Structure 1
Amino acid sequence: MTYTKRAAAKLLLGTALVAGIAPAAFADAHAKTKVGFVYVGPIGDGGWTYEHDKGRLAVEAEFGDSVETVYVESVAEGPDSERVMTQMALDGADLIFTTSFGYMDPTINVAAKFPDVKFEHATGYKRADNVSTYSARFYEGRAIQGHIAGSMTKSNIVGYIGSYPIPEVIRGINSAFIHARKVNPDVQFKIVWAYTWFDPAKEADAAKVLIEQGADVVLQHTDSTAPQAAAQEAGNVITFGQASDMSQYAPTPRVSSIIDDWAPYYIARVKAVKDGTWTSTDTWDGIGAGMVGIGEISDAVPAEIKEQALALKASLADGSYHAFTGPLNKQDGSVFLAEGETADDGTLAGMNFYVEGIEGEIPQ
Structure 2
Amino acid sequence: MSSRRDFLKKAAGLTAAGALGSLPLSALAAEGYYKIPLKKPLKIGFVYIDPIGNIGWSYQHELGRQYMDKMLAGQVESTFVENVSDARAEAVFRQLASSGHQLIFTTSFSYMNPTLKVAKQFPNVIFEQATGFKTAPNMGNYNARFYEAQYLTGLVAGAMTKSNKIGYILPFPIPEVYRVVDAFTIGLHEVNPKATVSTVWVNTWYDPSKEREAAQSLVASGADVIATHTDSPAPMQVAEAHGIYAIGQDSNQLKYGPKAQLTGVIDTWGPYYVETARRVLEGRWKPESTWGGLKSGMVELAPLSPVIPQETVDLVMKRKAEIEAGTFNIFSGPLYDQKGELKVAAGKALNDGDLLGLQWFVKGVEGKAS
Task: Compute the TM-score of the two structures, normalised by the length of structure 2.
Answer: 0.87
Report the Cα offset of residue 355 of structure 1: 1.6
1:218 aligns with 2:226: yes
Pick the aligned partner of 1:147 from 155, 179, 188. Answer: 155
Root mean square deviation of aligned Cα: 1.4
Q: 2-side partners of 1:227 and 1:137: how far apart?
A: 22
Q: What's the CA shift for 1:92?
A: 1.1
Partner in structure 2 of residue 287 of structure 1: 294
Does residue 33 of the first structure (1) align with residue 42 of the second (2)? yes
Partner of 1:266: helix, strand, or coil? Answer: helix
Contact 2:240/2:257 (8 A) holds in 1: no
State the SS of the aligned residue for 2:46.
strand
Distance 1:250 1:313, change over 3 A: farther
**Which whole-Å CA distance do the structure 1 matches of 2:253 and 2:237 have between them?**
11
Provide the rounded CA distance (Å) in 1 between the counterparts of 2:215 and 2:368: 19
How far apart, CA to CA, are the structure 2 residues paired with 1:357 and 1:205? 23
CA apart distance, 1:282? 0.7
Task: Give the aligned residue type for 1:138.
Answer: F
1:362 is matched with 369
Counterpart in the other structure of 2:280 = 273
Q: CA deviation at 1:342?
A: 1.7
- 1:228-247 counterparts in 2 under 5 A? 228-235=236-243, 237-247=244-254
Alignment match of 1:353 (pick from 330, 335, 360) = 360
- Which residue is equivalent to 1:133? 141
SS at match of 2:72: helix
Aligned partner of 2:18 in structure 1 is none
Structure 2 equivalent of residue 192 of structure 1:
200
The residue number in structure 2 matching 1:85 is: 93
AA aligned opposite 1:44: G
- Kindly indicate whether the alpha-carbon contact (under 8 Å) linking 2:150 and 2:183 is maintained by their aligned counterparts in 1: yes
In the alignment, what sits opposite 2:329? 322
Q: Does 1:75 align with 2:84?
A: yes
Q: Paired residue for 1:310?
A: 317
Is 1:257 matched with 2:264?
yes
Query: Whose relative contact order is higher, 1 or 2, with alpha carbons under 8 Å and at least 6 apart?
Result: 2
Point out the more displaced range, 297-306 or 243-252. Answer: 243-252
How far has the Cα of 1:251 moved from its partner? 4.5
Q: CA deviation at 1:245?
A: 1.0
Cα deviations across residues 220-264 of structure 1 (Å, max 9, x unaligned)?
A: 1011111111111111x1111111111214552011111111011
The answer on whether the counterparts of 1:203 and 1:227 sit within 8 Å (CA) in structure 2 is: yes
User: What SS does the aligned partner of 1:255 have?
Assistant: strand
Larger Rg: 1
Measure, in 1, the Cα distance between the counterparts of 2:275 and 2:284: 10
1:64 aligns with 2:80: no
2: CA distance between counterparts of 1:252 and 1:339?
A: 39
Contact 1:256 1:298 in 2 (8 A): yes
Alignment partners' CA distance in 2, 1:202 and 1:195: 9
Residue 278 of structure 1 aligns with an amino acid whose one-letter code is W
Paired amino acid for 1:70: T
Structure 2 unmatched ranges of 5 or more = 1-37
Does the 8 A contact of 2:146 with 2:180 survive in 1?
yes
Kept in 1, the 8 Å contact 2:171–2:203? The answer is: yes
Moved over 3 A (4+): none
SS in 1 for 2:291: strand
Relative to structure 1, is the Cα distance of residues 346 and 131 closer, same or farther in structure 2, using a 3 angstrom cutoff? same
Shift of residue 340 of structure 1? 2.6
Q: Once structures 1 and 2 are overlaid, which stretch shifts more, 196-205 or 135-144?
A: 196-205
- Deviation at residue 67 of structure 1 after TM alignment: 1.1
* Identical aligned residues as a percent: 42
- Cα distance in 2 for partners of 1:277, 1:233 equals 51
TM-superposed deviation, 1:305: 1.4
Who is 1:102 aligned against? 110
Q: Shift of the alpha carbon at 1:30? A: 4.3
Instruction: Report the Cα distance in structure 2 between the residues aligned to 1:292 and 1:128, rounded to whole angstroms.
Output: 26
8 A Cα contact 1:252 1:300, kept in partner: no
Deviation larger for 47-56 or 193-202: 193-202
Deviation at 1:39, TM superposition (A): 0.4
Give the superposition deviation at 1:281.
0.5
Alpha-carbon distance between aligned partners in 1 of 2:266 and 2:307, rounded to the nearest angstrom:
19
Partner SS, residue 214 of structure 1: coil
Instruction: State the TM-score, normalized to the length of structure 1.
Output: 0.89
Query: In the aligned structure 1, how far is the partner of 2:249 from the partner of 2:367?
Result: 23
| Equivalence for 2:235 | 227
Contact 2:199 2:365 in 1 (8 A): no
| SS of the residue 1:271 aligns to | helix
The count of residues paired between Structure 1 and Structure 2 equals 333
Q: Which residue of 1 aligns with 2:3?
A: none
